[in-house]
Structures are given as structure tokens and as C-alpha cells.
Structure 1
Amino acid sequence: MESGAYGASLSGGAFDFMSFIKQPQTIVRILSWLFSIVVFATITGEGYVNPPNKPDAECMFNGNDSACGFGVGIGILAFLACVIFIVLDAYFPQISNAKERKNIVTGDLIFSGVWTLFWFICFCVLANQWSHTTKAVEISADAARAVVAFSFFSIVTWALLTTFAYTRYRQGVSDIDLGYTDPANDYSTPYPATSAYPAYPTSGPEGYQQSPFTPQNQEHPAPYQPPSY
């Protein structure tokens, strides 16, 4: 587990691509990215058919254009989010500020949770509309079944991403409860005293002797006498 608030104390070091790719969160995120491509690309490419008795193309899911539009919208946004979060996951170990890490983890948790719900709704809508689809548009049966199946797979992967984000979030909260403070934001420490500059000497160095040219009687100097010509 990471130490420090959200692992901030372990930041730094060289980026290891192979280790990053092998992380479970990265693998699941890439799978979510691929599943979203399958969903919106299949609907866009094969989701609209021309029934024999109608001039215009209709959505293969019972002619419900809203169902196709919803699937495409959820898929495209999931695709973009996966790209963004993969980049953030790669950059995350280099972030030393605990507040920035918290914002990333919180955003990941919220988005993953919301998109798990959206994929569930998308799966229910598409499966229900496909179950009521007439024989006239079943020319795209394989494509429709693929969209429904990968919508279900997306529920699983985004639920796993929510679990990973929640684990990181709870770890960060536990570290803060233990008294971790981000060094970059700790201004309570007083300015440390330094001994680099020695104090100005108040007395002469040891062994100092008075100049031989100094008058012997400083308090009562001899009276001034003008020179004679």
C-alpha cells in the first residue's frame, strides 16, 4: 500500500512503462476503453438499418433512436474518460502534492461510480429494446447482441475501477487521520536559526594591543601650540 497521504511521500522516480501496464487498474481501464469503442462504433456503423416498408433508416433497437443515441453518447464519453485517466494514472506517481492527488482520486471515484450506473442503465435500455425488436430489422442481430454484451461487460469493468478508486481514497483518508501533512503546504514551522554568520564581535580579539600612535592621555589632550617661524 502507498504511504503518506494518497502516496505523496513516495512520489518521484523514473516511469516504468512495463510495470504501469501490468497494474490491475491499468488493465481494467484499457478493457473499459476497448469495450466503449465496441459499443459506440458498432452502433454508429451498423446500428441503423433500412426497413423494407420505410424510407428512412431506423435504430436497430426497436426503431428507438434515443436508445442508439444514448449508447453512442455513453460510449464516447467513456472512451474519452479512459484516455484522460490513463494519462493521469501514468503521471500520478510523479505528483508530490497530496491535495492534487486527492483531487485526482476523488474525480476518478465519482466518475467511475456514475459511469457504472450509466452503463447499467444503457444495458437495461438496449436489452429491453432489443427484446421488442421486430423481425424486419434482425439483419443486424449480431451487432445488436455485441452492443448489449459489451454494455454488460462495461458495467463490470467500471465497477472494478470504482473499487480501485475507493481503495485509494480510503487509504489517503487513513493517512491524513494519522497526522500526515503535505510538506509543501506546511508553513507553521518557524524559520530555523542559522550559525553560518557569526555574531559581530563585541570586543577585540585575544592578544590585541593598542596602537603605539594613540595619544596616552585621551581625556586631557595637550593644549594647542602654534608653530614658530
Structure 2
Amino acid sequence: TAASCALSFLPQIFSIVVFGSIVNECYVNRDSQDPELLCIFNQNESACSYGIAVGIIAFFGCIFFFVVDLHFQQISSVKDRKRAVLLDLGFAGFLSFLWFVAFCFLANQWQRTTMTKGVSQGADAARAAIAFSFFSIITWVGLALKALQRYRLGTDMSLFATEQFAAEPGAPYPGYPAGSGVESAETYQSPPFTETLDANPKGYQLPLLFC
């Protein structure tokens, strides 16, 4: 859906805004006589370094999992699919925590910053880094919930297929239960933990018909 696509690309945009703002405008001179560049967040180098590091990690992490998602349907092993979804879930939760720390750290250091002429020039960039750190928390929590929902759906469908279908091989194919979210063809989504079956199994021969 459009909402899912937007949620997938927002973390990348937010991470670019955060580390781009810090790198370009959050290193300022203490005064016009001192050429040394200092971090705008209370002259704490750790604050700027942490914001840049989290932004870069989030950016490349988004690219990696976007590639994994593109090739997800080509993964035939159920165990590998589960590992991919669990890795996505763990990474999203970990990034949510890192962005929460970044927001608290940058906001705290900004409150302690003494406003000078050099600081006032980069104040907008500092506020943008803090604001988009907060927005990143929301988006990564949303991605974590999405991955959790995907994992639960895949687990439920794989258990349903292996336990119920295998127990009664001659029984007709049952319909999807009500409330599963797959009642209509428009909302159908392939369960993430099901293997692709060969339509023409090896060794099978059609029976001969005699006139």
C-alpha cells in the first residue's frame, strides 16, 4: 500500500536530514577570533558524533532491508524467511532505541548551550536535527510493529498449513478464517513463511488411457 511505502522511505529521509544538518551547520566557531570549529550542542563533540553515527547507521540499514524485501519472495527456505523477518524486527527495535537516546541527548545538550553569535547561525540546523530525531523514533517504532505483524502472520499461516492440511490430505482446501485480512483478492498477501511448491513434481506420470 501507499502507506507502507511511505513508512519505508521516511526513515531514510529523516536520517539524511539529521546527519546532514549536523555535518553541514552544527560545527561553529566559538567567536570570530577563534578558527576552531566546535559542536553546537554545548560544545560536546560526543553529541554531534552520536547524531551523525545513528543517522548513517539508519540510512544504510534502510537500504539493506529494502534490498532484502525486494528479494524476499525468492527465498525458498522457511527458516531463512523467519530469520530475515526477525532480523528486520530486531534492527527496527534497536534503531528505535538509538533514536530515542539521540533525541534525549541532543535536546539536553541544546538546552545547556549558551547562545552566541556563532551558535545562532546554526540554531535552525540544531533544532531540525532534534526534531527529526524525534520523528525517526515514531517511524522506526512503526517499522518494528510492521515487522512484528508480518512475523505473526507468517507463523500462523505456516502452522495452519503444516498441521491442518497435512493431517487430512484428502480433505478439500478450506477457506481463510474470518478476520484474517485475506478475504478478498485485493488484500491477498502471500504468507512470508510458506514454501513454493513445484507444480509438476518429479517422477509423476499421467495414467495411460486405453480405448
* TM-score bucket of the superposed structures, by smaller chain: 0.7 to 0.9
Secondary structure of the residue that 2:122 maps to in structure 1?
Answer: helix
What is the distance in 1 between the residues matched to 2:123 and 2:134?
A: 17
Query: How big is the shift at 1:89?
Result: 1.6
- Give the aligned length: 171
- The answer for the alignment partner of 1:101 in structure 2 is 81
Q: Could you tell me whether the CA contact under 8 Å between 1:62 and 1:134 is conserved in 2?
A: yes
Is 1:139 matched with 2:121?
A: yes
Is 1:30 matched with 2:12?
A: no
The RMSD of aligned alpha carbons is: 2.5
Which structure exhibits the higher relative contact order, with contacts defined as CA atoms closer than 8 Å and separated by 6 or more residues? 1
Is 1:48 matched with 2:30?
A: no
Query: How big is the shift at 1:95?
Result: 2.7
- The answer for the alignment partner of 2:132 in structure 1 is 150
What is the distance in 2 between the residues matched to 1:195 and 1:112?
A: 50
Structure 1, unpaired ranges of 5+: 1-21, 186-190, 197-229
CA offsets, 1:180-229, max 9 Å, x none?
A: 386689xxxxx979799xxxxxxxxxxxxxxxxxxxxxxxxxxxxxxxxx
User: Letter of the aligned partner of 1:123 in structure 2?
Assistant: F
Query: How big is the shift at 1:92?
Result: 1.7
Secondary structure of the residue that 1:62 maps to in structure 2?
Answer: coil
Secondary structure of the residue that 1:178 maps to in structure 2?
Answer: helix
Residues 206-221 of structure 1 mapped to structure 2, 5 A cutoff: none
What is the distance in 1 between the residues matched to 2:138 and 2:41?
A: 23
Select the structure of larger CA radius of gyration. Answer: 1
Q: Could you tell me whether the CA contact under 8 Å between 1:60 and 1:138 is conserved in 2?
A: no
What is the distance in 1 between the residues matched to 2:15 and 2:206?
A: 63
Query: How big is the shift at 1:99?
Result: 1.7
Q: Could you tell me whether the CA contact under 8 Å between 2:95 and 2:140 is conserved in 1?
A: yes
**Aligned equivalent of 1:111, options 69, 86, 91:** 91
Q: Could you tell me whether the CA contact under 8 Å between 2:27 and 2:40 is conserved in 1?
A: yes
Query: How big is the shift at 1:54?
Result: 4.2
What is the distance in 2 between the residues matched to 1:195 and 1:31?
A: 53
User: Letter of the aligned partner of 1:158 in structure 2?
Assistant: W
Answer with 170-179 or 159-168: which moved more.
Answer: 170-179
Query: How big is the shift at 1:23?
Result: 4.4
Query: How big is the shift at 1:39?
Result: 0.5
User: Letter of the aligned partner of 1:176 in structure 2?
Assistant: S
- The answer for the alignment partner of 1:159 in structure 2 is 141
Secondary structure of the residue that 1:135 maps to in structure 2?
Answer: coil
Answer with 169-178 or 132-141: which moved more.
Answer: 169-178
Residues 1:120 and 1:192: Cα distance change in structure 2 (over 3 Å): same
Query: How big is the shift at 1:170?
Result: 1.0
Answer with 154-163 or 23-32: which moved more.
Answer: 23-32
What is the distance in 2 between the residues matched to 1:163 and 1:176?
A: 20
Query: How big is the shift at 1:90?
Result: 1.8
